[in-house]
Chain A
Amino acid sequence: AQSVTQPDIHITVSEGASLELRCNYSYGATPYLFWYVQSPGQGLQLLLKYFSGDTLVQGIKGFEAEFKRSQSSFNLRKPSVHWSDAAEYFCAVGTALYNYGQNFVFGPGTRLSVLP
Protein backbone atom coordinates (compact mmCIF):
# COMPACT_ATOMS: atom_id res chain seq x y z
CA ALA A 1 0.00 0.00 0.00
CA GLN A 2 1.14 3.51 -0.64
CA SER A 3 1.82 6.11 2.03
CA VAL A 4 2.57 9.80 2.18
CA THR A 5 4.56 11.83 4.66
CA GLN A 6 4.80 15.56 5.07
CA PRO A 7 7.67 16.14 7.49
CA ASP A 8 6.69 19.69 8.42
CA ILE A 9 3.57 20.08 10.53
CA HIS A 10 3.72 23.86 10.56
CA ILE A 11 5.77 26.35 8.57
CA THR A 12 5.90 30.11 9.00
CA VAL A 13 7.27 32.37 6.30
CA SER A 14 7.27 36.09 5.71
CA GLU A 15 5.20 37.53 2.93
CA GLY A 16 7.30 37.75 -0.21
CA ALA A 17 9.64 34.98 0.85
CA SER A 18 9.99 31.76 -1.05
CA LEU A 19 8.28 28.57 0.07
CA GLU A 20 8.95 24.88 -0.18
CA LEU A 21 6.64 22.27 1.34
CA ARG A 22 7.98 18.76 1.47
CA CYS A 23 6.20 15.59 0.49
CA ASN A 24 7.59 12.07 0.40
CA TYR A 25 5.71 9.03 -0.76
CA SER A 26 6.10 5.31 -0.67
CA TYR A 27 4.77 3.29 -3.59
CA GLY A 28 6.24 0.54 -5.72
CA ALA A 29 5.13 1.81 -9.10
CA THR A 30 4.75 5.22 -10.69
CA PRO A 31 2.40 7.20 -8.48
CA TYR A 32 -0.16 9.82 -9.34
CA LEU A 33 0.69 12.79 -7.14
CA PHE A 34 -1.42 15.72 -6.04
CA TRP A 35 -1.22 18.85 -3.94
CA TYR A 36 -4.37 20.31 -2.42
CA VAL A 37 -4.92 23.45 -0.37
CA GLN A 38 -7.60 23.89 2.26
CA SER A 39 -8.56 27.19 3.82
CA PRO A 40 -10.14 27.08 7.28
CA GLY A 41 -13.61 25.56 7.18
CA GLN A 42 -13.43 25.00 3.45
CA GLY A 43 -13.15 22.06 1.11
CA LEU A 44 -10.07 21.08 -0.84
CA GLN A 45 -8.82 22.86 -3.92
CA LEU A 46 -6.48 21.10 -6.31
CA LEU A 47 -3.27 23.07 -6.83
CA LEU A 48 -1.54 20.74 -9.25
CA LYS A 49 -1.04 17.11 -10.16
CA TYR A 50 1.55 14.84 -11.71
CA PHE A 51 0.61 11.85 -13.78
CA SER A 52 3.50 11.48 -16.22
CA GLY A 53 5.80 13.45 -18.49
CA ASP A 54 7.61 16.58 -17.42
CA THR A 55 8.60 16.20 -13.80
CA LEU A 56 8.20 19.91 -13.09
CA VAL A 57 4.52 20.67 -12.84
CA GLN A 58 2.96 24.09 -12.86
CA GLY A 59 -0.21 24.72 -10.92
CA ILE A 60 -2.57 27.46 -10.00
CA LYS A 61 -1.78 30.48 -7.84
CA GLY A 62 1.87 30.46 -8.86
CA PHE A 63 2.69 27.08 -7.33
CA GLU A 64 4.87 24.43 -8.87
CA ALA A 65 6.04 21.01 -7.81
CA GLU A 66 8.82 18.72 -8.91
CA PHE A 67 8.59 14.95 -9.01
CA LYS A 68 11.89 13.30 -8.09
CA ARG A 69 11.64 9.57 -8.44
CA SER A 70 15.08 8.95 -6.95
CA GLN A 71 14.06 10.74 -3.77
CA SER A 72 10.40 9.64 -3.77
CA SER A 73 9.50 13.28 -3.36
CA PHE A 74 7.01 15.75 -4.76
CA ASN A 75 7.84 19.06 -3.09
CA LEU A 76 5.66 22.10 -3.58
CA ARG A 77 7.27 25.48 -4.21
CA LYS A 78 6.31 29.07 -4.65
CA PRO A 79 8.85 31.85 -5.29
CA SER A 80 6.99 34.58 -3.42
CA VAL A 81 4.34 33.88 -0.83
CA HIS A 82 1.26 36.06 -0.43
CA TRP A 83 -0.67 36.49 2.80
CA SER A 84 -3.63 34.74 1.17
CA ASP A 85 -1.56 31.57 0.83
CA ALA A 86 -1.93 30.89 4.56
CA ALA A 87 -3.80 27.59 4.70
CA GLU A 88 -3.39 23.86 5.15
CA TYR A 89 -1.63 21.99 2.37
CA PHE A 90 -2.10 18.30 1.68
CA CYS A 91 -0.02 16.08 -0.52
CA ALA A 92 -1.75 12.96 -1.84
CA VAL A 93 -0.83 9.90 -3.84
CA GLY A 94 -3.07 7.71 -5.96
CA THR A 95 -2.57 4.57 -7.94
CA ALA A 96 -3.93 3.35 -11.21
CA LEU A 97 -6.39 1.06 -9.45
CA TYR A 98 -8.44 3.92 -8.28
CA ASN A 99 -11.97 2.72 -7.82
CA TYR A 100 -11.25 1.73 -4.27
CA GLY A 101 -10.65 4.58 -1.89
CA GLN A 102 -7.63 3.16 -0.18
CA ASN A 103 -5.75 3.67 -3.40
CA PHE A 104 -5.79 7.39 -2.75
CA VAL A 105 -3.96 8.47 0.39
CA PHE A 106 -3.54 11.91 1.92
CA GLY A 107 -0.53 13.10 3.83
CA PRO A 108 -1.01 14.56 7.31
CA GLY A 109 -0.89 18.12 6.03
CA THR A 110 1.35 21.15 6.55
CA ARG A 111 -0.08 24.32 7.99
CA LEU A 112 1.36 27.44 6.42
CA SER A 113 1.36 30.73 8.30
CA VAL A 114 2.41 33.94 6.58
CA LEU A 115 3.87 36.88 8.48
CA PRO A 116 3.15 40.39 7.19
Chain B
Amino acid sequence: GAVVSQHPSRVICKSGTSVKIECRSLDFQATTMFWYRQFPKKSLMLMATSNEGSKATYEQGVEKDKFLINHASLTLSTLTVTSAHPEDSSFYICSAKAPSRENEQYFGPGTRLTVT
Protein backbone atom coordinates (compact mmCIF):
# COMPACT_ATOMS: atom_id res chain seq x y z
CA GLY B 1 0.00 0.00 0.00
CA ALA B 2 0.82 3.70 0.06
CA VAL B 3 1.98 4.04 -3.52
CA VAL B 4 2.56 7.40 -5.12
CA SER B 5 3.01 7.81 -8.85
CA GLN B 6 4.28 10.67 -10.95
CA HIS B 7 3.70 11.40 -14.59
CA PRO B 8 5.62 11.90 -16.72
CA SER B 9 8.85 10.34 -15.51
CA ARG B 10 10.83 12.39 -18.00
CA VAL B 11 9.89 15.42 -20.03
CA ILE B 12 11.77 17.69 -22.39
CA CYS B 13 10.28 21.02 -23.29
CA LYS B 14 11.36 24.18 -25.05
CA SER B 15 12.05 27.45 -23.31
CA GLY B 16 8.94 29.54 -22.85
CA THR B 17 6.51 26.64 -22.79
CA SER B 18 4.68 25.24 -19.80
CA VAL B 19 4.80 21.71 -18.53
CA LYS B 20 2.53 19.91 -16.06
CA ILE B 21 3.65 17.18 -13.70
CA GLU B 22 1.08 14.98 -11.99
CA CYS B 23 1.38 13.35 -8.62
CA ARG B 24 -1.15 10.69 -7.66
CA SER B 25 -1.70 8.67 -4.53
CA LEU B 26 -2.85 5.34 -5.90
CA ASP B 27 -4.26 3.52 -2.92
CA PHE B 28 -4.91 6.14 -0.29
CA GLN B 29 -6.34 9.61 0.06
CA ALA B 30 -3.73 12.27 0.58
CA THR B 31 -4.91 15.40 2.31
CA THR B 32 -1.42 16.83 2.05
CA MET B 33 1.11 16.54 -0.71
CA PHE B 34 4.57 18.05 -0.94
CA TRP B 35 6.63 19.10 -3.91
CA TYR B 36 10.40 18.92 -3.79
CA ARG B 37 13.11 19.92 -6.18
CA GLN B 38 16.44 18.19 -6.31
CA PHE B 39 19.51 19.59 -8.02
CA PRO B 40 22.24 17.22 -9.20
CA LYS B 41 24.07 15.61 -6.30
CA LYS B 42 22.09 17.68 -3.81
CA SER B 43 19.45 17.03 -1.22
CA LEU B 44 15.77 17.63 -1.66
CA MET B 45 14.53 21.18 -1.37
CA LEU B 46 10.93 21.65 -0.34
CA MET B 47 9.11 23.89 -2.79
CA ALA B 48 5.58 23.88 -1.48
CA THR B 49 3.00 22.13 0.61
CA SER B 50 -0.27 21.34 -1.10
CA ASN B 51 -3.46 20.80 0.87
CA GLU B 52 -6.55 19.50 -0.87
CA GLY B 53 -9.04 22.21 -1.61
CA SER B 54 -6.88 25.11 -0.54
CA LYS B 55 -4.04 27.19 -1.87
CA ALA B 56 -0.56 25.78 -1.69
CA THR B 57 1.95 27.12 0.80
CA TYR B 58 5.18 28.04 -0.91
CA GLU B 59 8.60 28.09 0.68
CA GLN B 60 10.61 31.25 0.70
CA GLY B 61 12.23 31.94 -2.64
CA VAL B 62 9.87 29.78 -4.67
CA GLU B 63 7.88 31.77 -7.22
CA LYS B 64 4.26 30.80 -6.88
CA ASP B 65 3.36 32.31 -10.26
CA LYS B 66 6.01 30.21 -11.94
CA PHE B 67 5.35 26.96 -10.14
CA LEU B 68 1.59 26.55 -10.09
CA ILE B 69 0.31 23.89 -7.76
CA ASN B 70 -3.21 22.54 -7.80
CA HIS B 71 -4.48 19.92 -5.37
CA ALA B 72 -7.90 19.38 -6.85
CA SER B 73 -8.71 16.03 -5.30
CA LEU B 74 -7.59 13.77 -2.49
CA THR B 75 -5.53 11.70 -4.89
CA LEU B 76 -4.09 14.23 -7.33
CA SER B 77 -1.79 17.21 -7.12
CA THR B 78 -0.26 18.90 -10.14
CA LEU B 79 2.78 21.10 -10.53
CA THR B 80 2.86 23.31 -13.60
CA VAL B 81 6.12 24.96 -14.51
CA THR B 82 5.12 28.03 -16.51
CA SER B 83 7.30 29.78 -19.08
CA ALA B 84 10.04 27.28 -18.44
CA HIS B 85 13.69 28.28 -18.66
CA PRO B 86 16.77 26.06 -18.81
CA GLU B 87 17.49 26.83 -15.16
CA ASP B 88 14.20 25.13 -14.29
CA SER B 89 15.71 21.86 -15.45
CA SER B 90 15.77 19.63 -12.41
CA PHE B 91 14.42 16.51 -10.75
CA TYR B 92 11.02 17.12 -9.20
CA ILE B 93 9.72 14.76 -6.55
CA CYS B 94 6.33 14.74 -4.91
CA SER B 95 5.26 13.05 -1.74
CA ALA B 96 1.94 12.42 -0.09
CA LYS B 97 0.87 12.05 3.48
CA ALA B 98 -1.85 9.63 4.51
CA PRO B 99 -4.20 10.84 7.25
CA SER B 100 -3.95 7.54 9.06
CA ARG B 101 -0.17 7.80 9.27
CA GLU B 102 0.49 11.26 10.50
CA ASN B 103 4.25 11.14 10.55
CA GLU B 104 5.10 9.42 7.31
CA GLN B 105 5.17 10.59 3.77
CA TYR B 106 5.35 8.46 0.67
CA PHE B 107 7.47 9.59 -2.23
CA GLY B 108 6.81 9.43 -5.91
CA PRO B 109 9.53 8.21 -8.30
CA GLY B 110 10.31 11.71 -9.51
CA THR B 111 10.12 13.58 -12.80
CA ARG B 112 13.19 14.66 -14.72
CA LEU B 113 12.50 17.98 -16.45
CA THR B 114 14.86 19.22 -19.13
CA VAL B 115 14.25 22.63 -20.67
CA THR B 116 16.06 23.27 -23.94
| A residues with CB within 8 A of B | 32, 36, 41-46, 49, 51, 90, 94, 96, 98-102, 104, 106-109, 111
User: Can you list 24 contacts pairing A with B, beta carbon distance less than 8 Å?
Assistant: A32-B103, A41-B110, A42-B109, A43-B107, A43-B109, A44-B93, A44-B107, A45-B107, A46-B104, A46-B107, A49-B104, A99-B32, A99-B49, A99-B51, A99-B97, A100-B57, A101-B46, A101-B48, A102-B46, A107-B43, A108-B42, A109-B42, A109-B43, A111-B41
**Is B67 located at the chain interface by the 8 A CB criterion?**
no
Contact: B102 with A98, CB < 8 Å? yes
CB-CB < 8 A to B104: which residues of A? 46, 49
Complex Cα gap A109–B107 (Å): 16
Residues of A within 8 A of B34 (CB): 101, 104
**When A49-B104, A101-B49 are in contact, do A43 and B110 touch as well, CB less than 8 Å?**
yes
Contacts of A41 in B (CB 8 A): 91, 110, 112
**Which residues does chain B contribute within 8 Å of A104, judged by CB atoms?**
34, 46, 105
Given A43-B107, A46-B104, A104-B34, 18 more pairs with CB closer than 8 A: A32-B103, A36-B107, A41-B91, A41-B112, A42-B110, A43-B6, A90-B44, A98-B97, A98-B102, A99-B49, A99-B97, A100-B57, A101-B46, A101-B57, A102-B46, A102-B59, A104-B105, A107-B43
Interface residues, chain B, with chain A CB atoms under 8 Å away: 6, 32, 34, 41-44, 46, 48-49, 51, 57, 59, 91, 93, 97, 102-105, 107-110, 112
- A101 in complex: contacting residue of B41, B59, B93, B108, CB < 8 Å: B59
**Given contacts A43-B93, A44-B93, A101-B59, is CB(A90)–CB(B32) below 8 Å?**
no
